[in-house]
Amino acid sequence: MKFLFGKTLTITILLFTLWGCTENIDTSARYVFTSDNVMSYLERHNTYSEYVRLLKITPISIRSKSTVGELLGARGHYTVFAPTNDAIQTYLEELCAEEPSLLSEPSWDAFVSDHKRDSVIRVVVCNSVIDSGDHEEAFQVNAFPQKTGTEFPLNNMNDRRLSVRYQGVDTIFINNTCPINITERDIIVTNGVIHQVTRVIAPKDVTAALYLQEMLDHEQEGFLVMAKAIQACGLMDTLSKIRDEVYENRYLRGEIPENMHMYIDGHFPNGDNWTPRHRLYGFTIFAETDEFWREQGLDPKAPSTTLLPALVQWIVNNHQYSDDDRFTTDENYDSEMNLLYQWTTYHILPFRTPADRLVFHRNEFGYDQARKTFTIPMYEIYTTMGKRRLLKIFESKESNGIYLNRFPKLEQDRREILHELYCDADKEGCYVDRDPEHAILNDIINCCIYPIGAPLSYNDNVRDNLAKERLRFDGMTLFPEAMNNDIRLKMSADEKNQDVYIPATRIYNYFENMQMNDQTLFVYLNAYGYNWCNLHSDEMKAKGRFELTFKLPPVPRRGTYEFRYDVLPNGDRGIQQFYFGSDPTKLPAAGIPVNLTKGIGSMNVGYEADGKDEDYNIEVDKRLRNNGVMKGAKTVTADGSSSDIERNRSSNLRYIIIRQTMDPDKTYYMKLKSVLDSEDKEFYMDYMEYCPKEVYDNPERPEDIW
């Protein structure tokens, strides 16, 4: 199913305008090494002489006077995939053959301009280095991602994620085609690890649009039907987007601050919260395979004028829509009212999701962080492209993989461990194939494409089942930019990845689904390694006279819902007023201001810790609900163990913000506003919930505690 590009696909050169780092290397702060660092080791071995020369002339960024060579001679933790002289020469020869207009012969002196040459040199150098920062170790082979096709948890200096492919026992490739020398790997030096590669790591900037267009041009089967549908729906321009160039240029000109000094909770002694270097775009496509369509009687290689009407008719005949949907079935496919457009966009998420990040596992009940084994089901709720609709991505121990819109029967008894009992065939959902032999994981700069094992649609069965569940979503799922720019749950303890400052809206509207005033200092706290008792450990905070408005996901059906907001009160928090409604300019207040300094145990709401009498525990839960609050979820723990659970903490609670009728065709917003005249008090955000009346007011079975 993989599509192999021919020589017609040009190599995209990374231009200097991409450079976002501004650090200068303070050579006076270097350690005095008694053995080799990365640079001195490379300098002592002639096989790397050309690579060393390039390191010494490549600046870290357009705003830095320091070179990458100086960086690798300073203290730190660097993983270096060092190309040999032969590897670099082979790269030049291939480049000359594929791009004769770029260089006339395979030599650094033969480029058409110094700018083009320097850009190619940067490709060679910056794709070869992963900087793990001050707190994470460099990657020896035994710390590489364990599964073929999986990406390293940190970007390289080119802000790209490298992937690993294993072949046999000892053969390892980086980015599928760059082999690591079996005898010249795991070379440990004082500031990192060196692995010799015999081919230059130079990933091409292939966009989803370009990939699909090449598939169309060559009639290459795999996802040909989906490619034709995407093209007909006018989505190619959208899928060609890589980055926000306006943000890029403003960041490089210093109009967007590189960091913000924001001391919070005493956790971050330097107080520096770093602004994202880029604002990248991305996409995830879940696609039925051409093999599936042949089984349905559709020929993927048929002309679009024949194939697409047949596809629309198949969607109609198989009722791959909801009876509440309004749509047309003409050939005006790029209209948002067209059935093909609605069906196709439901297959696409507005962010790129690698295979190991479709469902997050970090600190849920029973999760073993060391062994990466889990017990209870976990899921993510996202809003798809096109008409705003919900997509549930689910994984459990019993499911043996990841599914879209799976609705199993769960064991939810208060005294048992949450798990999947069984799943009816009509609720099984779509299996997501993450095998790199089938899925397109690392070939596209702004997209991943996953084959699915059943047709995907937002039909009545899906909507009805979603409307019967409590829908919990992490606050960061509201912001596609958090995934596209590797902000959310990055596996790094380095300060720049732990504390991410998001500029106020006036400076730049970085998160499209959030607006904030100039007095708001907003930061995302990755909390990697902190074992905080939040969903996935992470959280969002702001301080100052904050005012923030968020666009929320849609509900699946018209009905009565509770909207809940999880908090972890403490003395650093403030008092905030919630607002909720469908007009972001005229949001009505939702209740009275909420005092986030008080935990549920210190409020006069009838709180008691769980005891052995479950009937009495249920009565306590009812008493709390009558006062507009709930205990935290049993799902959420500090470190995955059963000893520190959010539900058992009197400092954790869920506020019931509203209880009202909601409509799936309306967009709802929440605003949080500080009611204190203080620059130091905090807002806090972790997860939220939509809970339908059928769940929270079920006369036969109380809502579960998970």
The whole-model pTM stands at: 0.92
Task: Please compute the mean of the pLDDT values over residues 214-243 and round it to a whole number.
Answer: 97
User: Angle, to 10 degrees, between the axis of helix 49-57 and the axis of helix 85-98?
Assistant: 70
Q: Quote the mean pLDDT of the chain.
A: 92
pLDDT digits (tens, 9 = 90+) for 163-208: 999 998 889 999 999 999 999 999 999 999 999 999 999 998 899 9
What CA–CA distance (Å, rounded) separates 397 from 408?
Answer: 12
Among 425, 442, 466, the domain-final residue is: 466
pLDDT digits (tens, 9 = 90+) for 412-421: 999 899 999 9
Q: Which of 577-586, 638-647, 678-687 has the highest mean pLDDT?
A: 577-586
pLDDT band at 261 (very low <50, low <70, confident <90, very high): confident
Q: Check: CB of residue 24 under 8 Å from CB of residue 64.
A: yes
CA 393 to chain centre: 13
Question: Quick check: 5 pLDDT over 80?
Answer: no
User: Is 252 part of a structural domain of the chain?
Assistant: no
Q: Check: CB of residue 543 under 8 Å from CB of residue 517.
A: no
Full strand arrangement of the beta sheet holding 559-567: 471-474, 687-692, 559-567, 653-662, 629-631
List the Cα angle 465/467/473 in 5-degree steps. 100
CA dihedral 178, 483, 566, 556 (to 10 degrees): -120
What is the DSSP secondary-structure string of 598-645?
--GGGSSS------S-HHHHHHHHHHHHHTTEEEPPTTBBSSSSSSSB
Examine the domain organization and report whether 74 and 117 are in the same domain.
yes
CA 44 to chain centre: 41
Residue 34: per-residue pLDDT? 45
Residues 6 or more apart from 217 whose CB is under 8 A from it? none
What CA–CA distance (Å, rounded) separates 471 from 528?
Answer: 25
Examine the domain organization and report whether 304 and 447 are in the same domain.
yes
> Buried (b) or exposed (e) across 376-403, using 16+ Cβ within 10 A?
bbbbbbbbbbbbebbbbbbbbeebeebb
pLDDT band at 19 (very low <50, low <70, confident <90, very high): very low
Full strand arrangement of the beta sheet holding 283-287: 348-349, 283-287, 447-451
Examine the domain organization and report whether 460 and 607 are in the same domain.
no
What CA–CA distance (Å, rounded) separates 215 from 225?
Answer: 10
What CA–CA distance (Å, rounded) separates 694 from 430?
Answer: 25
Question: Quick check: 33 pLDDT over 60?
Answer: no
Q: Check: CB of residue 129 under 8 Å from CB of residue 116.
A: no
pLDDT digits (tens, 9 = 90+) for 649-673: 999 999 999 999 999 999 999 999 9
User: Is 251 part of a structural domain of the chain?
Assistant: no
What CA–CA distance (Å, rounded) separates 277 from 659?
Answer: 40
Q: Check: CB of residue 55 under 8 Å from CB of residue 68.
A: yes
Examine the domain organization and report whether 213 and 313 are in the same domain.
yes
Residue 494: per-residue pLDDT? 85
Residue 471: per-residue pLDDT? 98
Task: Please compute the mean of the pLDDT values over residues 130-147 and round it to a whole number.
Answer: 93
Residue 18, classed as helix, strand or coil, is helix
Provide, rounded to the nearest whole percent, the portion of the chain with pLDDT above 70.
94
What CA–CA distance (Å, rounded) separates 556 from 565?
Answer: 19
pLDDT digits (tens, 9 = 90+) for 519-533: 999 999 999 988 899
What CA–CA distance (Å, rounded) separates 515 from 506?
Answer: 9
Question: Quick check: 593 pLDDT over 90?
Answer: yes
Examine the domain organization and report whether 356 and 450 are in the same domain.
yes
Question: Quick check: 2 pLDDT over 70?
Answer: no
Task: Please compute the mean of the pLDDT values over residues 33-42 and round it to a whole number.
Answer: 85
Among 466, 489, 512, the domain-final residue is: 466
Among 170, 197, 224, the domain-final residue is: 197
pLDDT digits (tens, 9 = 90+) for 332-362: 999 999 999 999 999 999 999 999 999 999 9
User: Is 258 part of a structural domain of the chain?
Assistant: no
- Output the furthest CA–CA distance in the chain (Å, rounded): 82
DSSP bridge partners of 82: 196
pLDDT band at 6 (very low <50, low <70, confident <90, very high): very low
Residue 24: per-residue pLDDT? 46
User: Is 345 part of a structural domain of the chain?
Assistant: yes
Question: Quick check: 264 pLDDT over 80?
Answer: no
Examine the domain organization and report whether 216 and 112 are in the same domain.
no
What CA–CA distance (Å, rounded) separates 543 from 458?
Answer: 39
User: Is 462 part of a structural domain of the chain?
Assistant: yes
Residue 9: per-residue pLDDT? 38
Q: Which of 13-17, 26-30, 43-47 has the highest mean pLDDT?
A: 43-47
User: Is 406 part of a structural domain of the chain?
Assistant: yes
Examine the domain organization and report whether 447 and 482 are in the same domain.
no
Residue-number span of the structural domain to which 396 is assigned: 206-242+281-466
Side chain identity at residue 303, one-letter code: P
Examine the domain organization and report whether 328 and 341 are in the same domain.
yes
Question: Quick check: 265 pLDDT over 80?
Answer: no
Give the CATH number of the domain where residue 57 resides.
Answer: 2.30.180.10
Examine the domain organization and report whether 458 and 529 are in the same domain.
no
Give the CATH number of the domain where residue 480 resides.
Answer: 2.60.120
Task: Please compute the mean of the pLDDT values over residues 593-601 and round it to a whole number.
Answer: 90
| C-alpha pair distances (Å), 520 with each of 272, 275, 512, 515, 546 | 16, 15, 16, 10, 4
Examine the domain organization and report whether 227 and 166 are in the same domain.
no
Q: Quick one: which of 506, 504, 598 has its CA closest to 262?
A: 504
Examine the domain organization and report whether 418 and 493 are in the same domain.
no
Question: Quick check: 401 pLDDT over 80?
Answer: yes
Examine the domain organization and report whether 563 and 627 are in the same domain.
yes
User: Is 87 part of a structural domain of the chain?
Assistant: yes
Burial of 241 (0-12, 13-18, 19+ CB in 10 A): middle
User: Is 483 part of a structural domain of the chain?
Assistant: yes
pLDDT digits (tens, 9 = 90+) for 544-582: 899 999 999 999 999 999 999 999 998 889 999 999 999
In the chain, the number of structural domains is: 3
pLDDT band at 373 (very low <50, low <70, confident <90, very high): confident
Question: Quick check: 364 pLDDT over 90?
Answer: yes
